[in-house]
Structure 1
Amino acid sequence: MFSKGQMIFAGLFVIVFAVAIFFTYRKDKKLHAKNYKGAVWVAVAFFIFIGILFFIKYALKN
């Protein structure tokens, strides 16, 4: 499906991209901690909401 060169390029791209994202996040870590203080609670509420929707779906199905 893919040639050997395309697979090598894709693998190297993923590795370089992941390293770039890691260093960028590390550089901005203090800024993110300051600006996105309550983001964890928003994510928790979102997952609880999705869980409630799945519970309602299965409760009404059975």
Structure 2
Amino acid sequence: MFSQGQLGFAGFFFIVFVIAMIYAYRKDLKLHNLFYKGSYKILIAFVLFIGILFVIKVFFKR
């Protein structure tokens, strides 16, 4: 399906991309803490909302 060169490039690209994202996150960590404090609450609310929608779907399907 994919050649050895394509798989090698994909693996290399993924590793370099992850390293670059970690570097960029570490560099901006102080700004993240300043401007995005409490954003985990929004994530929890979003996941809870999706879960409630799933439960409603299962409940009314029966």
Q: TM-score, normalised by structure 1?
A: 0.94
Q: Deviation per CA, 1:21-46: give whole Å up to 9, x if none.
A: 00110111111011011211110100
RMSD, aligned α-carbons: 0.7
Q: State the alpha-carbon separation in 1 of the partners of residues 29 and 57 from structure 2.
A: 39
Q: Which runs of 4+ in 1 moved over 3 A?
A: none
User: 2:56: which partner in 1?
Assistant: 56
Identify unmatched segments of 5+ residues in structure 1. none
Alignment of 1:1-62 (within 5 A): 1-62=1-62
Identify unmatched segments of 5+ residues in structure 2. none
The alignment-based identity, stated in percent, is 55
The number of residues matched between the two structures is 62
Helix, strand or coil at the partner of 2:2: coil
Q: Counterpart amino acid of 1:39?
A: S
